[in-house]
Chain A
Amino acid sequence: MIDLKANTCPNREQRAGAINAYHGKASDLVRETREGTLFNREREFQQSSGCVLNFYLTTRVVTIRDSVMIVHAPVGCSSTALLYREVYRRIPRGEGRPEFDLHWLTTNIDEKDVVYGGVDKLRFAIKEAEERYHPKAIFVLASCTSGIIGEDIEGVVSEIQAEVNATIVPVHCEGIRSRIIQTAYDAFWHGVLKYLVKKPTKKQPDLVNIASMLSYTWQDRLEITRLLNRMGLRPNFIPEFATVEQFEIMAEAAVTAPICPTYTDYLSRGLEQEYGVPYFMYPSPVGIDHTDEWLRTIARYTGKEKEAEELIKEERAQWVPVMQKIQEEFATLRPDGKKIEILGSLGQGRLLTQIPYFEEIGVSSPAAIIQDFDNLVLDEMEQIIEQAGDFDVLVNTFQAAELSHITRKYDPDLALTCPFQGSAYKREKGATRIHALRGDARQWSAQAGYKGAIAYGNFLLQSTKNQSFQQTMLAKTPDTYHDWWYDQPDPLHYLKKEA
């Protein structure tokens, strides 16, 4: 039950029993979660891993086109958003990128504000945003400091809303509020549901809400758009590069479809609860089989079953033979005839897509690494265990030492990495990236839909052909950690025993 009268969502810990410290069998993780015996634990050794404000929000809320983001915080909390004017413009206009001029302000909370309060500055910032840019929405993002000094953001918003045309959307993303950075998604969607989504005046039966993160690329959007258009449907991609109107009309859509279930969850439930927009959580359009199933599910909510079956038939005829070539090449990679092993995944959403995809291309996964785990995905997790067999799971949010440890421990043929995994890429065997950087619009970097399934398969094959970079870095640079760290068996060595 989502309570839009409240200022914000509950934390993921409260809402879904989320944890981010676990190492063991996937089946045990599911069982303990069901039994309610799973608790999060504190680490004695911990590394910087992002917060509710600064894992996701500052770089994404700023992409909403006719809005202004105000970060009510000391100046450093918004520094990641300094990329706002150029990085997203790497996506060529010729690839269908809309024109945009993005804006954000910091209230620059300083020593004086900490003592006397900074709400006057926030009021001023809202007025300034209105005057400068005439936006349709103004997002106000909270911070650790605004939270601890007790800034009454809700008070400011209700007081000043009548004086500005833009809809003000407070987002309670104080960094210290939760250990689970995915709470950020819910906090953002709470604001969106509460302030932006409008009561529908009509239904748009061909409109499909898709909450997309840019770890799925611009090419993934193009592929999804291509497929839905062929079924006579239109995607409503939010939040990145969306207009405020695209948020307002979400209640008019026929269905909310996932790319990442953990990301979309709160929004999907909210849209159903408040406006009856149906949703589904599984699967996501990664891999040929899951793309089929994703399209079929959307078709059921939009009455496009026939169109979906025709599309799937045509697409399979084109792509399955290509996928078979990829499978054949993977099958020949190991001289012992066994499947090559890939260690990957990232969020729990990606785990749910990646393991079946690995099955599809014919590789195996000795273990999965996930940022967080909660009871929102239990059924799906069980389904995957049933399909792929039981596997080891390490739940940690970007803990680089733990990631380096288990990469050595499992020693897979290929380790998938990202800038958040420290030196784990330095190794004798294969290593490549999990997903692309923001603004990467190359076809090479696609992962979703049919084209993405092929592109990513080829991408992974490429990485098996030369290991010189990671080997050289391993040989020529000192390790960050002492040898004993790798010699002892437990990646969660520093986990405190009590809750």
Chain B
Amino acid sequence: MGTVTALRASENSKYPGVVEAPRYSCALGGAYMAALATFGAVPILHSGAGCGMAQNFGQNFAAGLNGAGPQGNTSTPCSCLVEEHAVFGGEDKLRNLVRSTIEVVRGDLFVVVSGCVPALIGDDVKAVVKEFRDQVPIIHVNTAGFLGNSYKGYEQYLDAVIDQLLTPKPVKKLQVNLLGIVPYQHVFWKGNLQVLKDLLEGIGLSVNMIFTENNGLEALQDIPAAELNLVFSPWSGVPAAIKLESKFGTPYTVIPAVPVGPKETSTFLRVVAKRLDLNRETVERFIAEKEKRAYRFSEYMADLAMMALPNAYVGIVADTGTAISLTRYGSNELGWLPELVIITDNPPEEFREDIINSLTLGLDSAVKPEVHFEIDAHWIRLLLKAHTLQLILASSLEKHIAVDELNAMQVSVAFPVYDRLIVDRTYAGYRGGLALMEDVAYKYGGPL
């Protein structure tokens, strides 16, 4: 067990919500991003006019300079509420908007996401949405910015899907759903989903990524057909998995983080194989072949790993999942010393002990990380400055702090990332560790 300090600056604050630059948007933002991640879904915002455009810079661009796609940003239908709607109600405006959206925008599923204004003025959004249920597949995410952050919005989206769209389906043997990877907040979400799908298909499963599947509506509707739900976070997606179990009887397994590098990836595959009672020999053969190739390729980066970053003191500032997977890969495969981990996604209290265990138990490094849960960019900066670090894997908020104030190198691996384009880049799976090294080591390359 590493040093786990209870000292958390925000906890000493009278108003822990008052913070500098917390690394997420609001619940509307999270639900909206989940809708955009469902291909073929058309989000309809019942909100002020800025709620969509703001997320373009605060969520899409913030997740590796991504465009918002064909239904995002200014392409997103929005009721653009102003004062007169706040006074007289926005239901008529929404009714016209939904009707016209169905007429003009191509889509398979319409997702009404309601924000702060209708929640405050008491619009009956549910009733308006109901009027269209016999025309098109349509759901309503009854949220508001003040109800929580992006992670909450992701849960609310899944909740609306489960309650309003899903019906029981015959279980397809060996089919699994991937949950817990939050679009945009987990900046490598697209690449992570694809790598996990490819890996699991490699051991004989059939995989529903839900997000970024070519037909998003079908993918959603197929959720109850899974034999098992895999949740890739100690906390995100867990409420959905519990709900799916109670509603459709689908069991679930929580994987603390998307596995990075051969060791964690093989462990993960073995857990799944055991859970689904797969042929052990086939799975071991798959693992052996993948590992052999991954480590043969590791030879290509070995010189640089030994010369540039041997036993580096590492600080990680990231969401729960990214922090766990990079801490474990660095500690158990690269020989790094994980000195400090700051978790920035504000996980609920009841999950924090498990998160600390995932970050501190089973590490080869003699240095175990000091773990903090902190959302305030100011305190994060001060925490970093209290340590001597050589490599900082963080958000791009730490980019200049690392170089100018800590004399360390920094790579942006967690939300927000405004300094690199992330399309399907990922550190997941057998090749993931190499991809991380490709991004980390370039600064020190060169012959003796």
Contact = CB atoms under 8 A, between A and B. Distances in A.
Interface of A: 42-55, 58-59, 73-87, 89, 103-111, 113-114, 120-121, 124-125, 128, 132, 144-145, 148-149, 175-179, 181, 397-401, 419-423, 477-482, 484-485, 494
B416 A83 contact: yes
Q: Which of B56, B71, B75, B144 has the most CB of A within 10 A?
A: B75
16 contacts: A44-B100, A46-B97, A48-B80, A53-B50, A77-B145, A81-B21, A85-B21, A86-B399, A89-B400, A121-B15, A144-B81, A175-B49, A177-B83, A179-B82, A420-B53, A478-B106
Given A77-B145, A108-B19, A108-B22, A148 B50 contact: no
A46 B146 CA distance: 24
Contacts of B147: 110-111
Interface string B30-66: 0000000000000001001111111111110110000
B74 A46 contact: no
A479 B70 CA distance: 8
A75 B18 contact: no
B82 to A, nearest CB: 5
Interface in B135-192: 144-150
A478 B70 contact: yes
Q: Which of A51, A104, A144, A478 has the most CB of B within 10 A?
A: A144
A419 B48 contact: no
Contact of A46 (B20, B70, B78): B78
B57 A104 contact: no
Contact of A76 (B14, B29, B100, B101): B29
A45 B45 CA distance: 12
A106 B56 contact: no
Interface string B75-102: 1111111110110000001001101110
Nearest to A45: B100
B79 A46 contact: yes
Contacts of B85: 176
Contacts of A477: 70
Contacts of A89: 400
Contact of A480 (B71, B103, B416): B71
Contact of A109 (B52, B61, B99, B146): B146
B26 A176 contact: no
A453 B238 CA distance: 57
Contacts of B144: 74
Interface in B292-335: none
B418 interface: yes
B73 interface: yes
A475 to B, nearest CB: 15
Contacts of A73: 145
B18 A107 contact: yes
B104 A401 contact: yes
B244 to A, nearest CB: 26
Interface of B: 13-15, 17-29, 45, 48-59, 61-62, 67, 70-71, 73-83, 85-86, 93, 96-97, 99-101, 103-106, 116-117, 120-121, 144-150, 377-378, 396-397, 399-401, 416, 418-419
B317 to A, nearest CB: 13
Given A80-B58, A85-B377, A144-B116, 20 more contacts: A45-B97, A46-B79, A48-B45, A50-B53, A51-B48, A51-B49, A52-B50, A75-B25, A76-B51, A78-B21, A79-B24, A82-B416, A107-B15, A110-B17, A111-B147, A114-B120, A121-B15, A148-B120, A422-B74, A480-B105
Nearest to A13: B82
Contacts of A48: 45, 49-53, 73-74, 76-78, 80
Contact of B145 (A49, A83, A145, A181): A145
B169 to A, nearest CB: 28
A128 B24 contact: no
B65 to A, nearest CB: 10
Contact of B80 (A87, A111, A179): A179
Contacts of B49: 46, 48-51, 175, 179, 181, 397
A484 B144 CA distance: 34
Contacts of B400: 85-86, 89
Contacts of A482: 103-106
Given A44-B97, A46-B79, A398 B50 contact: no
Contacts of B53: 48-51, 54-55, 398, 420
B399 A85 contact: yes
Contacts of A132: 378
B147 to A, nearest CB: 6
A39 to B, nearest CB: 14
B79 to A, nearest CB: 7
Contacts of A401: 75, 104-105
Counting from the closest, the 9 A-B pairs by CB-CB distance are: A48-B52, A79-B58, A76-B26, A51-B50, A54-B50, A108-B17, A74-B145, A45-B100, A79-B25
A59 B105 contact: no
A49 B78 contact: yes
